[in-house]
Amino acid sequence: MAGIKTDVCHDYMAICETIRSIAPTYVFEMSLSPDFVLQSSIANTIERWGKGGGLQFDSFDQWIPKEAFGKPREINKEKKMRYEINGKILKLGGKEIEFPYEIRKIAEFDEIIMLLLMQNEIPDNNIVALDMSGNQLWNIADVIQLRRPDAYVGLHKVNDRHVWVRSLSGVETTFDVYTKEIIEKIVSR
């Protein structure tokens, strides 16, 4: 819905004229249990309401618990994390943070920035995640438990939620940066 004007959105979703003054301003993600029934369909054309064509959902009057709703995000609001990197120093959220190793690679997500730290030597568990204020959320060891501590040599943003990392020992892992759920783990040596 990002970039869609209110009148176009109303036409796309075939929203009735009595509530057209209400413009969608937020979007959020939901986590539903696997047994929750949610039907999706395409909005039909309804005379005097709109052309339709938008994706709509129906929960069949099932109660959706408050905990299922993620943090709302404003639609059409550019939310770009502003930061500067200079060797071992990261300037983020009004803070200047110095790390023991150089920042070699970053993966930026909505409200999370991940850093791959290394120099001539590669330390164990050398990926950290920070919030927009520069506070550490977690270290890679909090997400991936290997038989012994390992250094990481690869960091790549897959999409808006998932990141791929590769350890020095050849373990490739894709996981959700928000829930820390492992999506895929491949061992290649």
CA distance 147 to 139: 16
Task: List, for residues 103-115, the tens digit of each pLDDT value.
Answer: 999 999 988 999 9
Structure-token pair, residue 106: 């970053």
Of 129 and 59, the one with more pLDDT: 129
- 3: pLDDT strictly greater than 60: no
From the CB of residue 43, how many other CB atoms can be counted at a distance below 10 Å?
A: 18
Q: Domain 83-187, CATH 2.40.10.480 — does that match?
A: yes
- 22: pLDDT strictly greater than 90: no
- Residue 90 and residue 97 in contact, taking contact as beta carbons nearer than 8 Å: yes
- 8: pLDDT strictly greater than 80: no
Task: List, for residues 127-139, the tens digit of each pLDDT value.
Answer: 999 998 899 999 9
How confident is the model at residue 44, as a pLDDT?
77
How confident is the model at residue 137, as a pLDDT?
95
Q: In sequence order, what DSSP letters do the residues of 63-125 get, joined into one string?
A: PPPGGGB---EETT---PPPEEEETTEEEETTEEEE-SS-EEEEEEETTEEEEEE-SSS--BT
CA distance 88 to 85: 7
- 20: pLDDT strictly greater than 60: no
CA distance 148 to 28: 37
CA distance 72 to 28: 5
Counting Cβ atoms within 10 Å, is residue 9 exposed (0-12), middle (13-18) or buried (19+)? middle
Reported confidence tier of residue 1, pLDDT bands at 50, 70, 90: very low
Structure-token pair, residue 138: 């977690």
- 100: pLDDT strictly greater than 50: yes
Reported confidence tier of residue 152, pLDDT bands at 50, 70, 90: very high
- Residue 1 and residue 8 in contact, taking contact as beta carbons nearer than 8 Å: no
CATH 2.40.10.480 residue window(s) in the chain: 83-187
Q: What is the pTM of this model?
A: 0.59
